[in-house]
């Protein structure tokens, strides 16, 4: 069975600064996806970034980037130039690569961006 661990229940960052959210996972599989999702107060889940395990290059999406360390089973999210709108709950998630596979979520990290 796969597990996802987020060890930071809450984080704060000043506007315009950089913050890194941690995530580790455990699996015996070799082909999988890793995701970071954002859940704002509306509670609609929003995909922030996705990483395919077979890709060595770290994924980036504008101000969001990941540090994917496959051997260490680590998948951290870096948010640069933090904005007030980044305030939300962030979930790290895992899924196997087969079609229609379920997501396994970490406990989440509440991120607060302060002005």
Contact residues for another protein, defined by CB under 8 A = 33, 42-45, 47, 50, 52, 89, 91, 95, 97-108, 110
Per the CB < 8 A criterion, the answer to whether 53 and 33 are in contact is yes
Least CB distance to another protein at residue 94 (A): 12
Q: Round to whole Å and give the CA distance between 23 and 49.
A: 13
Measuring CA to CA, which residue among 61, 32, 67 is closest to residue 49?
61
Which residue number, 15 or 61, has a Cβ lying nearer to another protein? 61
- In the DSSP assignment, the letter for residue 59 is P
Least CB distance to another protein at residue 18 (A): 25
Which residue number, 19 or 94, has a Cβ lying nearer to another protein? 94
Which residue number, 59 or 113, has a Cβ lying nearer to another protein? 59
Q: Round to whole Å and give the CA distance between 71 and 82.
A: 29
Which residue number, 71 or 99, has a Cβ lying nearer to another protein? 99
Least CB distance to another protein at residue 65 (A): 18
Least CB distance to another protein at residue 39 (A): 9
Per the CB < 8 A criterion, the answer to whether 77 and 64 are in contact is yes
Q: Round to whole Å and give the CA distance between 68 and 74.
A: 6
């Amino acid at each position: 069975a796969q597990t996802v661990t987020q060890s930071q229940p809450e984080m704060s960052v000043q506007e315009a600064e950089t913050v890194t959210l941690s995530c580790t996972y455990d699996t015996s599989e070799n082909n999988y996806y890793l995701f970071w999702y954002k859940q704002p107060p509306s509670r609609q889940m929003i995909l922030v970034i996705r990483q395919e395990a077979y890709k060595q290059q770290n994924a980036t999406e504008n101000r969001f980037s990941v540090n994917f360390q496959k051997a260490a089973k680590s998948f951290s999210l870096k948010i640069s130039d933090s904005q007030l709108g980044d305030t939300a709950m962030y979930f790290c998630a895992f899924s196997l690569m087969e079609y229609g596979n379920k997501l396994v979520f970490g406990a989440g990290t509440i991120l607060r961006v302060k002005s």
